[in-house]
Amino acid sequence: MGMVGVQENGHGEMGLSSISLGTKNKYKRMDSELSDDHDDDPSHNHYQEERGRNIRKYVFACAVFASLNNVLLGYDVGVMSGAILFIQEDLKITEVQQEVLVGILSIISLFGSLAGGKTSDVIGRKWTMGLAAVIFQLGAAVMTFAPSFQILMIGRLMAGVGIGLGVMIAPVYIAEISPTVSRGSLTSFPEIFINLGILLGYVSNYAFSGLPAHINWRIMLAVGILPSVFIGFALFVIPESPRWLVMKNRVDEARSVLLKTNEIESEVEEKLAEILLAAGSGNADKSQEKAVWCELLRPSPAVRRMLVTGFGIQCFQQITGIDATVYYSPEIFKGAGIEGNSKLLAATVAVGVTKTIFILFAIIFIDKVGRKPLLYISTIGMTTCLFSLGFSLTFLGKGEIGIALAILSVCGNVAFFSVGIGPVCWVLTSEIFPLKLRAQASALGAVGNRVSSGIVAMSFLSVSRAISIGGTFFIFSAISALSVVFVHTLVPETKGKSLEQIELLFQDNYEFQGSEVELGDVEHLVQKQ
């Protein structure tokens, strides 16, 4: 059935291409014959090099533009850590209102993420990003002019929906347009931009903190509207995802996008055939296809493994306390003994700089070293730093040594987060699901992420009052130790495999940990289904 579907949807040449997806592909043989003729042709070689450079720049630009929504999330997280000090002073809000204001963004963004899966399957990946930016802009504008806590909350709710939409769709889009060899690095971009946004938020706090309390926090929040202006421009530059176009039977448009994003022209037809096979015969006969949500709610063993891996890694990313560290770093440093708003905000900027710099290590190594080694380094390092932070806050008091160890531990924690679980979490959840489930399963993972983030952000102050800030970080350290076990047991290595090949890692007849997938196996997978 899968083969018939490909021939029906892909026109004549697709049928040829789909006969073999292994190393004996007809297009490759034709290309190798042609390339022999061109080996000694300098002008042809120059053309290929120039084309390769242009395509790399184009894909890079697409990944950057698609990640701009994540600047909004990062900025909101970073700026609120300082703005809340002045909102409390200006609007006279209680500690519970403070927790709700900070944490509600994550809870509400899960509704955006849930809606994002279906929305992106209907209107496309690209226009879902545009919708996210518009909703966030409206929310940020309402917050900027809010005269009371109630109006501030309305703006916060709108911003949360926009952020939820944007956060789940960017990694899916980038994974679907990226060449296999650089997919890990490019899919890490959203995490870089979250970090950049956090740093900009911290800098904004520091820059505007000298203004009167009834004005400064409004300016801090208003600056967050600016990135979404660039998103509007981006929508006219970036293409739609070729995999989404195939799902909509727009095969010629998908081929056109693949030609723009793949350096080796001869591989385009093979890749298109692979995508058509992964889309399966559902394109030919929708009535025979299980509804996506039905398949997610009653999954096959392979899909269940994917869901446990994707949902689990997203939850661990947040319940290890990264948002508490970022949102409440002024509170943490105050507990360590640093005094004065400007000193607190300056120490927080150091955290933002560290978090942003270390994400670059992930970008460089994720496609060279692999996903799993980075996750090991990250989770073990975070466990150590969270424990040392708990130790310094509990046993060292407010002396210089305590302050130094607290700053070092917080910076170390965010550094290890950025090297591994921060970006790799989003890379994995955009890679491991089959095409027809990818958007909505990724949305489910983003929901787990946002719920975990919201629970941590909304309970941190209360738990800290009950068992101390140091005690809270001992708990985060224990959870982080569990994440090391989770990575070892349930996360496969996906480096260097196409999205269609990764699906095989979760099948019953493959060894789950560390299994290798042959290039020709994708056809076997789809025929088996």
Closest CA to 64 of 363, 508, 318, 464: 363
Helix or strand run (H / E) with residue 45: helix 42-66
pLDDT one-digit tens code per residue, 309-336: 999 999 999 999 888 887 777 778 887 7
Under 8 Å CB-to-CB from 503, ≥6 apart: which residues?
278, 302, 432, 434, 522, 525
CATH number given to 299-507: 1.20.1250.20
**Mean pLDDT, rounded, for 37-60:** 72
pLDDT at 41: 63
Identify the DSSP state of 160: H
Q: Which residue has the higher pLDDT, 369 or 281?
A: 369
pLDDT at 525 (0 to 100): 40
Confidence of residue 380 (pLDDT cuts 50, 70, 90): very high
**HSE-CB of 59 using CA atoms within 13 angstroms:** 27
Rounded to whole angstroms, the Cα distance separating 97 from 94 reads 5
Higher pLDDT residue, 482 or 56? Answer: 482
Q: Are 16 and 296 in contact (CB under 8 A)?
A: no
Tokens 């693949």 belong to: 258
CA–CA separation, 423 and 73 (whole Å): 14
- Distance in angstroms (rounded) separating the CA atoms of residues 396 and 374: 31
Q: Is the pLDDT of residue 13 over 60?
A: no
Q: What percent of the chain has pLDDT over 90?
A: 11
- Is residue 40's pLDDT more than 60? no
Q: Identity (one letter) of the amino acid at 426?
A: W
pLDDT level of residue 5 (50, 70, 90 thresholds):
very low
Each residue's pLDDT tens digit, 79-127:
887 788 888 888 888 878 887 887 787 778 878 877 887 888 888 888 8
Residues 347, 404: Cα–Cα separation, whole Å: 11
Q: What is the mean pLDDT of residues 135-157?
A: 88
Q: Given pLDDT bands bounded at 50, 70 and 90, which one contains residue 44?
A: low
Q: Which residue has the higher pLDDT, 168 or 204?
A: 204
Question: When comparing pLDDT for 325 and 498, which is higher?
Answer: 325
Q: How confident is the model at residue 15 (pLDDT cuts 50, 70, 90)?
A: very low
Per-residue pLDDT at 373: 93
pLDDT of 274 > 90? The answer is no
Contact 150, 97 (CB under 8 A): no
At 51, the amino acid letter reads R
Question: pLDDT class for 503, splitting at 50, 70, 90?
Answer: confident
pLDDT at 148 over 60: yes
Residue-averaged pLDDT of the chain: 78
Start-end ranges of CATH 1.20.1250.20 in the chain? 51-281, 299-507
Rounded CA-CA distance 220/211 in Å is 11
Q: What is the pLDDT of residues 412-461, one digit of tens each?
A: 999 999 999 988 888 888 788 887 787 778 878 878 887 888 888 778 88
In this predicted structure, what is the pLDDT of residue 478? 95
Residue 410 DSSP SS3: helix
pLDDT score for 508: 56
Instruction: State mean pLDDT over 242-246.
Output: 86
Per-residue model confidence (pLDDT) at position 385: 94
Q: Using the structure block, give the residue that is written with the tokens 């390769």.
A: 52
Q: By percentage, how much of the chain surpasses pLDDT 70?
A: 83
CATH match for 51-281 among 3.40.190.10, 2.70.150.10, 1.20.1250.20, 1.10.630.10? 1.20.1250.20
Nearest CA to 451 out of 106, 74, 164, 102 is that of 106
Mean pLDDT of 362-380: 89
**What average pLDDT does range 206-231 have in this prediction?**
82
At a CB cut-off of 8 Å and minimum separation 6, what does 148 contact? 91
